Amino acid sequence: MMEKKRDTIAAIATPYGESAIGIVRLSGPKALDILKKVFKTPSGKIKPRYAHYGWVLDKNGEPIDEAVAIYYKAPHSYTGEDMVEFNLHGNPLILREVLQRLLEEGARLAEPGEFTKRAFLNGKLDLTQAEAVAELISAKTDLARRLALNQLRGALSKEIKPLREELLMLHALVESSIEFEEEDIPTIEREELVRRLKGILERVNRLLETAKTGKAIRGGIKLAIVGRPNVGKSSLFNRLLGEDRAIVTEIAGTTRDYLEEVVNIGGIPVRLIDTAGIREATDTVERIGVERSLQKLREADLILFVLDASQPKPTPEEVELAKLVAQSGKPTILVLNKIDLGKVIDLSDFPLKGVPIVEVSAKSGEGIGKLREEILKAVGVQAGEGGNIYISVRHEELLKRAKAALENALRYLEEGEFYSPEILMLDLREASDALGEIVGEVTTEDILGQIFSTFCIGK
């Protein structure tokens, strides 16, 4: 790793394709030397943090392109190293030729995420901020963008670092009770230790409560619309989508296969799945559609079970389907559609109990706003609200590890008759290491490789 860190790396930093401007980046100890070899300005001088107009030259001294180059002297750069950015005409042929020219002068092609990895290794970013760079680039909604930006500004770090510092302090106080038992050195009483550990555990639990919403914001959710034919699933699909994507007729079984579209609901990317009506199929094509609908039901994160509110009671087919949905254990919203025709349905014997019920008219739009609110509630978001911190899957795993260690320490302190500082320190160290791994204060090359491999080359 240290050998690679001393390399000078180069990469194209803009997406492939024609554009007005394309950027090639260069970072490492040879960056300035390479810049002077391949780039000529009218004055012949290069000053840090100035935009210089000039020409990128091939090895024979012939121009490849006119460009603007900016040199950033270490440590005042994104990576913390000497760094150069070439702003060129955005022709892929030009960008590749300039990149090849930098490689000829001793740079090597950067690995995915290596510029940001160097920023982390050189102390410009912690690990949560480095992850936020990739999330900011890939954000699919404005909420996801704001979440990534908050994390890039250090919102999560400001929560995690004080917790870890407090654990390390407690570890030191417990250790001092062993090393300086007979000397006048500050130690900590068991009751005070319990109180402070409970405070840390409470803050860890609050962060863990954001995990469900964090997954939804970053990865989106799959929402399956299910029900028997002709209850208005496709009309509801179109209404949530805001356009006529699914064919709607009065003929039962119009939707012969599932349809999928992504819609932004309150900042959550929701993959809507309009399934074929689930009933006893009358032909081979419909049977395949029903089987696919059942498969989509099993894959969904959230289910909208649609009933016709204008009918007196659910059909036997709907009752059986409801039993299947209940057995799946998946979060479900019961949608009573066609209230514009009058609500008469009796749900007293319907198997889906204790689930949210929303009355709507997919035809007029009545109740659709309330349905969107219930969808957001199902993933832990209140309509119109959004916190500053929602943890990722990686953060969740490490916080759970810290939680388990803290709970073990508290159980030992509260239930154990004898108090052994040596045993307690093991749990305190486990908890602090887990928190340290979140921000990158405790890490390994394997962990870094796993995280930065998801980045694009050039970032």
Is residue 285 over pLDDT 50?
no
Find out whether 35 and 71 touch, Cβ atoms under 8 Å: yes
- Let me know: does 258 contact 292? Beta carbons within 8 Å: yes
Highest mean pLDDT out of 354-368, 385-399, 435-449: 354-368
Q: Are 325 and 303 contacting, i.e. CB atoms less than 8 angstroms apart?
A: yes
**pLDDT at position 275 over 80:** no
Q: At what angle do helices 142-152 and 155-179 cross, to 10 degrees?
A: 40
What is the rounded distance in angstroms from the CA atom of residue 176 to the CA atom of residue 25? 50
Secondary structure class of 257 (helix, strand, coil): coil
Q: What are phi and psi of 57, to 5 degrees?
A: -110, 145
In this predicted structure, the answer to whether residue 251 has a pLDDT above a threshold of 80 is no
Name residue 334's beta-bridge partners: 305, 357
Does 378 score more than 80 pLDDT?
A: yes
- For residue 441, which phi and psi values (nearest 5 degrees)? -80, -20
Band of pLDDT at residue 253, cut at 50, 70 and 90: very low
The answer to whether 226 touches 298, Cβ cutoff 8 Å, is: no
Taking the mean position of all CA atoms in its chain, how far away is CA 94?
Answer: 34
Do you know the residue count of the chain?
A: 459
How far is it, in rounded angstroms, from Cα 191 to Cα 9? 54
More confident residue, 248 or 213: 213
Vertex 295 angle, CA 289 and 301, to 5°: 125
| pLDDT score of 276 | 60
Give yes or no for a contact between 29 and 8, defined as CB atoms under 8 angstroms apart: yes
Residue 309 has a CB neighbour count (10 Å cut-off) of: 22
CA distances from 337 to 293, 310, 343, 364, 401 (A): 20, 8, 9, 11, 45
Query: Is residue 338's pLDDT more than 90?
Result: yes
Kindly tell me if the per-residue pLDDT of 357 is higher than 60.
yes
- pLDDT band for position 277 (50/70/90)? low
CB-based burial of residue 184 (10 Å sphere; 0-12 exposed, 13-18 middle, 19+ buried)? exposed
Predicted pLDDT at 2: 39
- Output the CA angle 162-384-352, nearest 5 degrees: 100
Please tell me the least confidently modeled range out of 84-98, 148-162, 211-225.
Answer: 211-225
Domains of the chain (ranges; CATH) run 2-125 (3.30.1360.120), 133-210+391-440 (1.20.120.430), 216-378 (3.40.50.300)
Identify the residue whose tokens are 């654990």.
Answer: 167
In the predicted structure, residue 248 carries a pLDDT above the cut 80: no
DSSP 314: -
Is the omega angle on the peptide bond into residue 421 within 30 degrees of 0, that is, cis? Answer: no
Structure confidence at residue 286 (pLDDT)? 44
Evaluate if residue 280 carries a pLDDT over 80. no
What contacts 116, CB < 8 A, 6 or more positions away? Answer: 125, 130, 133, 134, 452, 455, 459
E strand or H helix at 102 = helix 92-104
Round to whole Å and give the CA distance between 341 and 310: 6
Q: What percent of the chain has pLDDT over 90?
A: 53
Q: Give the per-residue pLDDT at 359.
A: 95
pLDDT at 382 over 90: no
Highest mean pLDDT among 84-88, 235-239, 437-441: 84-88
pLDDT at residue 156 greater than cutoff 50: yes
Q: What percent of the chain has pLDDT over 70?
A: 86
pLDDT band at 186 (very low <50, low <70, confident <90, very high): low
Q: What is the pLDDT of residues 113-152, one digit of tens each?
A: 999 999 999 999 999 999 999 898 888 888 888 889 999 9
